[in-house]
Amino acid sequence: MDSDDAMRYALGKPGAWADSPWGEDHHVAKVGQKIFLFPGSRDGRPAITVKNTAEAIEELKQRFSPDAGPAPYLNKRLWAQLYIDRVPEEDVRELIDDSYRLVVAKLPKSQRPG
């Protein structure tokens, strides 16, 4: 799976939409007005940045070390960046699912997808 595949998967979620808040080179997946996935690349490798619980982020960093680490400019306890070229596709999908679920849960009920 690469970053484009991750983005396509994310956009298949109910209410998900693509945005480029920092210009055309910086795409994100949102639900409501909140970001749940930052796809991209780093050092020429496909990467994603996702949200999760503090415990899950620590587990992710340990499980996929050295390919997982803190997300630049975001809460280091709740967001992680992960190179996905050596991570099983089902794990990448699960991380995107978790990020989506957590963001949706924080949306006002009126903004949650039906």
Report the SS3 class of residue 64. coil
For the entire predicted model, the pTM comes to 0.94
CATH level 2 (architecture), domain 3-107? Alpha-Beta Complex (3.90)
Which pLDDT does position 53 carry in this prediction?
Answer: 96
Q: For 22, phi and psi rounded to 5 degrees?
A: -115, 20
Residue pLDDT, tens place only, 32-83? 999 999 999 988 999 999 999 999 999 999 999 999 999 989 999 999 999 9
26 pLDDT above the threshold of 90? no
108 pLDDT above the threshold of 90? yes
Which pLDDT does position 21 carry in this prediction?
Answer: 86
The gap between the terminal CA atoms of the chain, to the nearest Å, is 28
Which pLDDT does position 24 carry in this prediction?
Answer: 81
Q: Where along the chain do its domains lie?
A: 3-107
Q: Which long-range contacts (CB under 8 A, 24 or more apart) does 80-83 make?
A: 80/49, 80/50, 80/52, 81/38, 81/42, 81/47, 81/48, 81/49, 82/47, 82/48, 82/49, 82/50, 83/42, 83/45, 83/46, 83/47
- Which band of pLDDT confidence, cut at 50, 70 and 90, is reported for residue 114? confident
d(CA 30, CA 33): 6
